[in-house]
Amino acid sequence: MNLQPLFTQPILRQCLFPDVHPGQASDVWLVETRDESVIVRRTRMSSEPANDFWWGCRDLFGVDPTDLFALEGMNRVLGELSPIPVPQVLRKAVVDGVPYVVVEKMPGTTLRSFQSLPTEALVQLGEALARIHARKFSECGTLSGRLRYPVGQFHKRMAATMRELVQRYYADVPEISILLDEMCAQLLALPPLRHASLIMLDMDPTQFLHENGRITALVDTEVYALGPRELELVALEYLLDKASAAAFVSGYESVLPFPDLRQVRAPYRYFCRLMEVQGPVDIDAWMNGPKWFDEVGSPL
């Protein structure tokens, strides 16, 4: 791939990173010139979502993975909120009709497991997510404004998105489709959402870098949106054990009270499974996963 048009100096080294998770939306390179060592990103996605995850992201939140330039505003806002550094966009360009962004190279290597982190790093993660969640929005959708709607409409829209996801991707999977009516009813019985926060829809350790027992950067922000913080926390719960959940909650509660997930857990888990946020996990195992945050938190 010829990335030279993005640089005024000759490229001395160019390295394409291997994918860190299935369905990765971008190609990512390390590029070095005489005066720069930076990251270049290019979307792989077409204009039409190709699977359950990307279709759900677009339908409920308006996330468009082809809008790579939206990273500039998103990373700027996240960088202002998060004590974990976020790489800033240095410049943007369109080459042969394809958008590219050049972003800061951050220290550290890809994190593979939250559970492997020391307690101090998990506390750091909890504090960082709480500081991001602390900024409140009256609408759900995208930070850029591509899609916005009042927070009070969120559960009704989520139920509609779940019905469409089942029709498109799970109509012939009875163990999943049989739960749809019950999960939609639970959603519609919930109190209206009071506010939205910036949340990561594809929460995973591989979105972070770490070094010497610390999280050094939040690097993959393509799928941030405005929605209920509880949705991100329900997805995160699967990636922790009891000890790491306790450390995370202690950091979170140093900034914000931890929310009660008991009412929303089942329908939010169902939505996450329809989106395959951690792949095609057996639905019974998924819905009955551990409830670590109930055990270690202090719900309102």
Amino acid, res. 93? A
CA atoms of 254 and 39, how far apart (whole Å): 33
Domain coordinates of the chain in residue numbers? Answer: 4-49+65-104, 109-296
C-alpha distances (whole Å) from 213 to each of 119, 198, 208, 262 are: 9, 26, 13, 32
- Torsions phi, psi of 245, nearest 5? -65, -40
CATH architecture of 109-296: Alpha-Beta Complex (3.90)
The whole-angstrom separation of Cα 190 and Cα 266 is 12
Rounded mean pLDDT, 173-194 = 97
- Cα separation values, 258 from 49, 94, 219, 234, Å: 34, 43, 25, 12
Q: Is the pLDDT of residue 89 over 60?
A: yes
Is the predicted pLDDT of residue 298 greater than 60, yes or no?
no
pLDDT band at 299 (very low <50, low <70, confident <90, very high): very low
The pLDDT score that the predictor gives to residue 1 is 82
pLDDT tops 60 at residue 108: yes
DSSP string over the chain: ---GGG-SS--SEEEEPPPSSTT--EEEEEEE-SS-EEEEEEE---SS--SHHHHHIIIII---TT-TTHHHHHHHHHHHH-SS--PPEEEEEEETTEEEEEEE--SSEE---STTS-HHHHHHHHHHHHHHHTS-BSEEE-TTSSSEEEGGGHHHHHHHHHHHHIIIIITT-HHHHTTHHHHHHHHHHSPPP--BEEEETT--GGGEEEETTEEEEE---TTEEEE-HHHHHHHHHTT--HHHHHHHHHHHTTTSPPPP-TTTHHHHHHHHHHTTBTBS--HHHHHT---HHHHH----
Q: Do 292 and 245 meet the contact criterion of CB atoms below 8 Å apart?
A: yes
Give the whole-angstrom CA distance, residue 286 versus residue 143. Answer: 30
Summarize pLDDT for 1-13 with one digit per residue, the tens: 889 999 999 999 9
- 96: amino acid identity, one letter: D
CATH architecture of 4-49+65-104: 2-Layer Sandwich (3.30)
Tell me the residue type at 1: M
**Could you give phi then psi for residue 27, rounded to 5 degrees?**
-90, 140
Looking at per-residue pLDDT, the higher value among 203 and 22 belongs to: 203
Handedness of CA 238, 243, 244, 247 (dihedral sign): positive
pLDDT-based confidence at residue 300 (cuts at 50, 70, 90): very low
On average, the pLDDT of the chain sits at 94
Structure token pair of residue 255: 């900034």
pTM equals: 0.94
**Local confidence band at 44 (pLDDT 50, 70, 90 cut-offs):** confident
Residue predicted with more confidence, 178 or 50? 178
Report pLDDT for 43: 86
pLDDT digits (tens, 9 = 90+) for 117-164: 999 999 999 999 999 999 999 999 999 998 999 999 999 999 999 999
- For 250, other C-beta atoms within 10 Å of its C-beta total 17
pLDDT at 93 over 80: yes
Given a cut of 70, whether residue 105 has pLDDT beyond it is yes
Residues 84 and 125: beta-carbon distance below 8 Å: yes
